[in-house]
Structure 1
Amino acid sequence: MEQIQKSILIVDDEDYIRQSFIDYFEDRHWLVFDTESGESALELLKTQACSAAIVDIRMTGMDGETFIKNASKKYPDMSFIICTGSPEYKTSEDILRFPNIANQVFGKPVIDIDKLENTIKEMIGRQNNKDLAIK
């Protein structure tokens, strides 16, 4: 059986946050892409498929929720995980309607990054099982 490489997109306007995620996921054999804005992430997705994205909410320009709404419609097979440094952030009703958004919001700094990775893997697994059921 052919093994599909896991790919992840990190969307965060803070360099050190992106780099810490890049280091973690590359060490675990993920193919990692990163951008500093929602706009550049949408451009990247035009040419590079990703299994999942970790998305900051408060960024310069397009905010994370707007990115997720746009990307989720165009790339419904992707999974999206919100990771924010804003403790007061509450997921909007609009975002909760998308089936490919993680139920849990992860705060920054991420205390349990293994739990974050496991959440991503579970979401990708559910998506893959749904695709197999359709075929």
Structure 2
Amino acid sequence: MLAPVDDVAAWGETLDNLLECKTGRLVFEDFLRTEYSEENLLFWLACEDYKEMTGGTEMAVTAKRIYAEFVQVDAPRQINIDCVTREEIGENLSQPGPHSFDRAQRVIYGLMENDCYPRFLKSEIYQALLEQSERR
């Protein structure tokens, strides 16, 4: 899996650059898996997809799936959010809108940006890719 030189370097500039690149997301997810925290990225990506939805039925089904997989207490991939945000999402499930997960998504983005992302930049995975891309 070789990425263009500018991509790998750009991933190190901002978390957004990393998340906007499909290869970057895959590498970041691999890294997060080694730290047992890939649920943060998976939740963030699920929210991004959710916001693109237009149909009410599709949105309702997806909102329930996201809630069951990431938000509810004891969810298989439970994300680390405060109980107020968790309850707010639960209350909105009966009538989910495009912004139902915004608050939680911001919290998780902040966690990734301030916690996982800096560790990713220091990781062997990223450093090796960066070195490889600079050699070309």
TM-score, normalised to structure 1, is: 0.26
Relative to total residues, which structure has the larger strand share, 1 or 2?
1
Pick the structure with greater CA Rg.
Answer: 2
Relative to total residues, which structure has the larger helix share, 1 or 2?
2
TM-score, normalised to structure 2, is: 0.26
* Bigger relative contact order (CA 8 A; separation at least 6): 2
